[in-house]
Amino acid sequence: MTESEDGRRVVLRNRKARHEYDVLDTYEAGLVLVGSEVKSLREGKASFTDAFARVEAGEAWLYNLHITPYESSTLDAPDPKRTRKLLLHRHEIERLAISTQQKGLTVVPLDLYFRRGHAKVTLALARGKKLHDRRETLKREAMRREAERAMERHGG
């Protein structure tokens, strides 16, 4: 976990999301968890593999977020991949619902963190990249890094 300047303790980042999707907009949402899930998250035992969010019946839900059951829990552990409710403002939920009805738009989690003791997730309204778009992004990044190296060599 890393501590950022605004008091966030990042637990998990979805590195593949920015590679596979064009991020159009971001939202911060609270996450409804069970006590043992919070303890497991604080230990960093979670995975975003195939995670996504969806709006159903006026509520936002996060699917496929895998939280490993807490080892020291005495109670029955919840299903690691259970659907978890997201806490958003009503107008944000409505905006996400309208946007995801458009062809090709989806909601993916970018990172999961704690702020002032509360679990939060950053959601991205995103459009999937085609294979050639991914290759183009990789080329641009490689050219940018090469230009930075050249500037360092010549400038200082």
User: Domain residues for 51?
Assistant: 2-129
pLDDT of residue 1: 55
Residue 52: pLDDT band with limits 50, 70, 90: very high
Provide the domain count of the chain: 1
DSSP 129: P
pLDDT of residue 32: 93
Domain at 36, CATH number: 2.40.280.10
Q: Determine the residue type at 121.
A: V
**DSSP per-residue codes, 65-110:** -EEPPPTT--SPPPPTT--EEEE--HHHHHHHHHHHTSTTEEEEEE
Tens-place pLDDT, residues 62-74: 999 998 888 876 6
Average pLDDT over residues 130-154: 84
Residue 40 located in a structural domain: yes
Tens-place pLDDT, residues 82-117: 899 999 999 999 999 999 997 879 999 999 999 988
pLDDT of residue 5: 56
